[in-house]
């Protein structure tokens, strides 16, 4: 069990007039190799939660275990945790800083103490995995488009060979093709490397298409935790907290209300297509 969270609490500006409880009594287990989606409205605690997982934020109380070790114990090597649990920020500019793309991707493995040859090999591998063309390798990362910057930021984490990859809104602001390109690459990496992937997203379509488990955050607590079909079955409750189900969920529900005998658990376009064809007797 690589990540286990027990009774986690976090308070912003504790003991001040601006005190605010951001996380309350979080208990979660994140097994090896799962593709997990985390959803919630703005301010629900999603980003705060994931920043605890690699020690960027320290809990006010509670415990996080990684591979059975308490990351808050005295002497725990937080640097080793961050080598294994990689976080890609929502805004790639926050983690890009080198003079060119290739140097930026080399930075992480270089700090892991690898040989120059291994550093470069990992950088080339990671850049290929995210689908960035070689003509961009010697350009400043700040000359790239938003989608290209995201690819570089993801490559910089992948080059460190993490066991857990956390992505905070990796497709925000991208066009549909760019979004699909990046998420398809992530899904491929998840399948090939067997790594744990945690995807934070506002896109219910993306969540439904890629993840096998959804954690719903609301007001700093875990509201739901389960497989997509079960979670989106609570679409009315999700609407009450500012979320929604994928569009196809509403389509199949509407068809059921019109009298069609149809499977209403569909959450992806492919599942909805199959359900509609079956309902039509085709």
**What is the chain's pLDDT, residue by residue, as a tens digit (282 residues)?**
589 999 999 999 888 888 899 999 999 999 999 999 999 998 999 999 999 999 999 999 999 999 999 999 999 999 899 999 999 988 888 788 888 999 999 999 999 999 999 999 999 999 998 888 999 999 999 999 888 888 899 999 999 999 999 999 888 777 788 788 889 988 998 998 899 999 999 889 999 999 999 999 999 999 999 999 999 999 999 999 999 899 999 999 999 998 888 888 889 989 989 989 988 886
Annotate 132-183 with DSSP letters as a single string. Answer: --GGGTTS-GGGS-HHHHHHHHHHHHHTT--SEEEEESTTTT--HHHHHHHH
Q: What pLDDT was estimated at residue 282?
A: 62
Q: Which CATH number fits domain 3-228: 3.60.15.10, 3.30.1490.20, 3.40.50.300, 3.40.50.150?
A: 3.40.50.300
Please provide the DSSP assignment of 74-123 as one string: TT--HHHHHHHEEEE-SSGGGT--SSSHHHHHHHHHHHTT--HHHHHHHH
Spell out the domain ranges in the chain. 3-228
What DSSP string describes 204-243?
HHHHHHH-SEEEEEETTEEEEEE-HHHHHTTHHHHHHTT-
Task: Give pLDDT, residue 197.
Answer: 96
The answer to whether the CB of 55 falls within 8 A of the CB of 82 is: yes
| pLDDT computed for residue 41 by the predictor | 92
User: 111: Cβ–Cβ under 8 A, 6 or more apart, which residues?
Assistant: none
**Does pTM top 0.85 for this prediction?**
yes
- The pLDDT value given to residue 237: 95
């Amino acid at each position: 069990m690589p990540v286990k969270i027990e009774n986690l609490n976090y308070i912003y500006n504790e003991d001040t007039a601006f005190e605010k409880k951001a996380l309350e009594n979080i208990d979660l287990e994140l097994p090896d190799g799962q593709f997990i989606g985390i959803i919630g409205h703005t301010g629900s605690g999603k980003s705060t939660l994931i920043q605890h997982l690699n020690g960027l934020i320290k809990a006010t109380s509670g415990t996080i275990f990684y591979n059975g070790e308490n990351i808050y114990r005295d002497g725990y090597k937080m640097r080793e945790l961050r080598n294994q649990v990689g976080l890609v920020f929502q805004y790639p500019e926050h983690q890009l800083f080198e003079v060119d793309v290739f140097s930026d991707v080399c930075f992480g493995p270089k700090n892991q103490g690898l040989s120059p040859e291994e550093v470069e090999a990992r950088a080339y591998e990671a850049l290929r995995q995210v689908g960035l063309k070689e003509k961009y390798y010697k350009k400043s990362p700040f000359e790239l488009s938003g989608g290209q910057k995201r690819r570089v930021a993801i490559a910089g984490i992948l080059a460190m060979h993490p066991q857990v990859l956390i992505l905070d809104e990796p497709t925000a602001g991208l066009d549909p093709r760019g979004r699909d390109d990046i998420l398809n690459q992530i899904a491929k990496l998840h399948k090939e490397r067997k790594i744990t992937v945690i995807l934070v997203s506002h896109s219910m379509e993306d969540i439904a298409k890629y993840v096998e488990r959804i954690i719903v955050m609301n007001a700093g607590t875990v509201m739901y935790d389960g497989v997509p079909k079960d979670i989106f079955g609570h679409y009315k409750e999700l609407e009450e907290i500012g979320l929604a189900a994928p569009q196809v969920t509403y389509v199949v529900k509407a068809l059921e209300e019109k009298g069609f005998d149809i499977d209403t658990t569909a959450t992806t376009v492919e599942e909805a297509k199959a359900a509609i064809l079956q309902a039509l007797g085709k």
